[in-house]
Amino acid sequence: MTPKVRKVVFLLVLVVIILHQDFWLWTNKTLVFDFLPIGLVYHGLYTVLAAVTMWILVKVAWPREFDDVENQDGDQK
């Protein structure tokens, strides 16, 4: 992983961590679509963001040697 990609991934994870602290919606009683509390909608969108972040981390930062272990163990049987 290049240093530039490492910085971008680090910043993405940092943004997700900061967005998880949603203290700004604790007292907001706004309803979305007239029945969903804004906090629930926010956490639904946050969950999608967290899943996309994890997908990016697996694609970009997953160590390739973990994938090769299965092939090495399979030859010994």
Q: What range defines the domain where residue 31 resides?
A: 19-62
Distant-in-sequence, close-in-space partners of 56: CB < 8 Å, separation ≥ 6: 9, 12
The per-residue pLDDT for 65 is 76
Kindly state whether residue 8 falls inside one of the protein's structural domains.
no
Kindly state whether residue 30 falls inside one of the protein's structural domains.
yes
Q: How many domains does the chain have?
A: 1
Instruction: Convert the pLDDT of each residue in 20-68 to its tens digit.
Output: 998 888 899 999 999 999 999 999 999 999 999 999 999 988 877 777 7
The per-residue pLDDT for 69 is 64
The per-residue pLDDT for 22 is 86
Kindly state whether residue 43 falls inside one of the protein's structural domains.
yes
Kindly state whether residue 48 falls inside one of the protein's structural domains.
yes
Kindly state whether residue 47 falls inside one of the protein's structural domains.
yes
The per-residue pLDDT for 42 is 95
In this predicted structure, the answer to whether residue 72 has a pLDDT above a threshold of 90 is no
Residues 25, 38: contact at Cβ < 8 Å? yes
Buried b or exposed e, range 30-54, using 16+ CB within 10 angstroms: eeeeeeeeebeebeeeeeeebeebe
Kindly state whether residue 72 falls inside one of the protein's structural domains.
no
The per-residue pLDDT for 25 is 87
Kindly state whether residue 68 falls inside one of the protein's structural domains.
no
